[in-house]
Amino acid sequence: MRLNKYIASCGVCSRREADKLIEANRITVNNELPSFGTEVNEGDVVCLDGKKITPNTKTIVLAYYKPVGVVCTEKDKHAQVTVIDDLKFPERVTYAGRLDKDSEGLLIMSNDGKLIEAMMKSANKHEKEYEVTVDKPLNGDILNKLSNGVYLPELDRTTRGCKVRRTGTRSFNIILTQGLNRQIRRMCKEVGLKVLTLKRIRVMSVDLKDYKLSPGKFVELPEKEILKLYSACGLKK
């Protein structure tokens, strides 16, 4: 097995991030610094920062309700509370898709780097649904602009077409199939709106309402739901 794939199978990070660990000389194989093309064979000892890592024997996938104020990062000396701090899960897991500090809602977290990587890949067009409230009344023109794609000058990107449904005078649901940085907030800004609240309620087949979670709480997903995620990502568990 290629080294970066092995590291991902240990739940450490994605394969792309594994390459960065290798480049930074934080990985050793049999007490030697490896190259990017190194193959890991049975009996080899792989270490991260001197600590042995091994492939996960049990797949963990969590549905976690990130509260407002919690930062989506594993380590940040400037963050008051990180996702890992708030979650307090005994094993290492990471998240599929960020939510900014001022947003709340569903995060899928897992110890399987392959699953995380597949869920985050924009080309796979996995759905994520959000509830949004804004500072001004909505009209058909605004909703059409949001659904048809909005040019974001700060990113020099035009958003992919999406589904938008008004739920109130100043609220709407939106389903995205991409995950640009602060995408919904930037989209709203370009059509003259300011986001007041933003909550992710669904990621692919996992719906927050099915688990009745309150902010800061999590649940381990049942095997049936985990298999749905793997299937949708084109992976075998």
Alpha carbon distance 99, 201 (integer Å):
12
Indicate if 100 belongs to the active site.
yes
Strand partners, 128: 176, 203
SS3 category, 81: coil
DSSP code of 39? B
Longest dimension (CA), the chain: 63
Alpha carbon distance 113, 6 (integer Å):
10
Alpha carbon distance 76, 232 (integer Å):
32
Alpha carbon distance 203, 188 (integer Å):
21
Active-site entry in 19, 44, 85, 100: 100
SS3 category, 16: helix
> Mind telling me the catalytic residues?
100
